[in-house]
């Protein structure tokens, strides 16, 4: 038999339990191990081969001139293009790229979203 307010007993039960809300930004949820957040490059390990640029599905990585790597090029990443798939980190032959746990990346202009 149906009656309105079938959720009321459930609601009364949760009245005395702890709240479900996480008070962001005063409390934060710990992100899981292996979370795919902001891109970061270890420039000492990078050899400038360009594999990351070739496999990126959203064409977010560009190779620019530098004098710190063997081939004279290093990757820069535009975060507004990145799809956070970690394919570049997986394909890198020297493991120079990692994806960190940082996710608060809002910015008012697109230029601020360039990561070197």
Q: Are strands 61-65 and 114-115 parallel, antiparallel or unpaired?
A: unpaired
C-alpha 13, offset from chain centre: 38
44 touches 80 (CB < 8 A):
no
User: Whole-angstrom distance between the N-terminal and C-terminal Cα of the chain?
Assistant: 64
- Residues 11-40 interacting with another protein (rule: CB under 8 A): 11, 20-25, 28-29, 31-36
- Of the pair 1, 15, the CB lying nearest another protein is at 1
* 107 contributes a contact to another protein by CB under 8 A: yes
- Of the pair 51, 66, the CB lying nearest another protein is at 51
Residue selected from 47, 55, 63, 76 as contacting another protein according to rule CB under 8 A: 55
């Amino acid at each position: 038999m149906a009656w309105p307010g079938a959720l009321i007993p459930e609601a009364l039960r949760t009245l005395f339990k702890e709240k479900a809300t996480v008070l962001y930004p005063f409390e934060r949820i710990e992100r899981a191990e292996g979370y795919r957040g902001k891109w970061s490059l270890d420039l000492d390990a990078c050899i400038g081969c360009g594999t990351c640029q070739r496999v990126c599905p959203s064409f977010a990585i560009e190779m620019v001139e530098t004098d710190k790597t063997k081939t004279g090029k290093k990757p820069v990443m535009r975060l507004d293009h990145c799809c956070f798939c970690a394919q570049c980190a997986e394909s890198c032959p020297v493991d120079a790229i990692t994806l960190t746990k940082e996710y608060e990346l809002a910015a008012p202009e697109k230029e601020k979203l360039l990561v070197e």
